[in-house]
């Protein structure tokens, strides 16, 4: 990590004032811990560096204090927030400004963002930001990759306990769809550690700000954005300790002959042992195996 920052109080005071005005109480079930650190705000803005030529998507707007600053800089802003109670906050904060800002009050995991594709194409870059609730970290990152494959950069606030799933390597216990798909789509870069005191209410854990910079276009990046492919590593790794051949028998590819034929060719071309375990397969190898199975 490059830096560890301590919070300031101005944003916290502003947030608490808004919460009192709206008689608002955070919901633990939604993982609601709101960023109130000016220095972290500035680091997020500096990393994304949005301008009028950019479209920016924020998942989990919360009260909207950071959202406004992002929307003021971007050419087009799209915010998605599951908690409809925040609509009153956003009306209060955004009303005084003439901005190209849209809001969706729904569960991002259940939202079809494809209707915005044409609008995004009007801008040079698409940027994505989310302060991730721990309990949906994996699902939400995978959703962002499948929903916004054209993005140049995604920026995530990730709780410390979830980092092992994000950065896991082949063969480790934490290695799974999140590490595989995200590393196929882009390259992770650690930016800073953020203390619990930077949030209101303050969680008991620290978080980390990570950027995911899009890789050059390739068959691997394209596969990462495919919902069909995203299901494949998850199915295979349900039986991670079995040999790859046996693990494949538990996937939706039921035809034994197809599996045997494609697997034999794959193992030969990759120079892998027939006894290799599913958890030992590297990220790009998952794509090459999936391609062989689909073309068999």
Q: Final residue of a domain: which of 224, 242, 269?
A: 224
pLDDT, greater one: 13 or 144: 144
Residues 95 and 208 in one domain: yes
* Same domain (yes/no): 82, 162: yes
Domain coverage including residue 256 = 227-294
On whether both 34 and 112 belong to a single domain, the answer is yes
User: Does the pLDDT at position 5 exceed 60?
Assistant: no
More confident residue, 13 or 111: 111
Summary mean pLDDT of the chain: 93
pLDDT tops 90 at residue 291: yes
State yes or no: pLDDT of 155 exceeds 70: yes
Q: How far apart are CA 285 and CA 146, in angstroms?
A: 20
Domain CATH for 116: 3.40.50.150
> Does one domain contain both 197 and 242?
no
- The tally of domains found in the chain comes to 2
pLDDT of residue 241: 93
Q: How confident is the model at residue 130 (pLDDT cuts 50, 70, 90)?
A: very high
**How high is the pLDDT of residue 255?**
66
Q: Domain ends where: 224, 244, 267?
A: 224
Give residue-wise pLDDT tens across range 223-246: 999 999 999 999 999 999 999 999
Cα–Cα distances in Å, from 125 out to 11, 111, 150, 244, 292?
29, 21, 8, 39, 33
The pLDDT, as a whole number, for residue 39 is 94
pLDDT tens digits, 170-202: 999 999 999 999 999 999 999 999 999 999 988
> 133 and 98: one domain?
yes
Same domain, 74 and 184: yes
Other Cβ atoms closer than 10 A to 21: 11
CATH of the domain at 250: 1.10.8.100
* pLDDT band at residue 7 using 50, 70 and 90 as cut-offs: very low
Predicted TM-score (pTM) of the model is 0.91
Closest CA to 142 of 208, 66, 223, 238: 223
């Amino acid at each position: 990590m490059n830096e560890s920052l301590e919070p300031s109080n101005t944003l916290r005071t502003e947030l608490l004032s808004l919460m009192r005005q709206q008689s608002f109480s955070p919901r633990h079930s939604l993982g609601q811990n709101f960023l109130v650190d000016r220095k972290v705000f500035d680091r997020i803005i500096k990393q994304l560096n949005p301008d009028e030529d950019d479209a920016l998507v924020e998942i989990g707007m919360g009260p909207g204090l950071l959202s406004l600053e992002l929307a003021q800089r971007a050419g087009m802003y799209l915010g998605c927030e599951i908690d409809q109670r925040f609509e009153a906050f956003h009306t209060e904060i955004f009303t005084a400004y003439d901005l190209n800002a849209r809001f969706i009050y729904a569960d991002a995991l259940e939202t079809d963002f494809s209707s915005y594709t044409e609008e995004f194409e009007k801008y040079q870059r698409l940027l994505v930001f989310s302060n991730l609730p721990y309990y949906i970290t994996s699902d939400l990152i995978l959703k962002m990759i499948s929903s916004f494959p054209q993005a140049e950069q995604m920026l995530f606030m990730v709780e410390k306990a979830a980092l092992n799933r994000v950065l896991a390597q082949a063969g480790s216990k934490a290695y799974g769809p999140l590490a595989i798909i995200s590393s196929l789509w882009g390259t992770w870069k650690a930016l800073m550690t953020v203390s619990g005191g930077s949030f209101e209410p303050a969680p008991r854990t620290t978080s980390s700000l990570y950027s995911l910079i899009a890789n050059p276009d390739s068959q691997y990046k394209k596969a990462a954005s495919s919902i069909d492919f995203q299901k494949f590593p998850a199915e295979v790794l349900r039986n991670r300790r079995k040999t790859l051949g046996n693990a494949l028998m538990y996937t939706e590819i039921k035809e034994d002959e197809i599996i045997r034929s494609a697997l034999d060719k794959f193992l030969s071309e990759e120079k892998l042992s027939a006894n290799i375990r599913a958890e030992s397969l590297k990220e790009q190898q998952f794509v090459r195996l999936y391609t062989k199975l689909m073309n068999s």
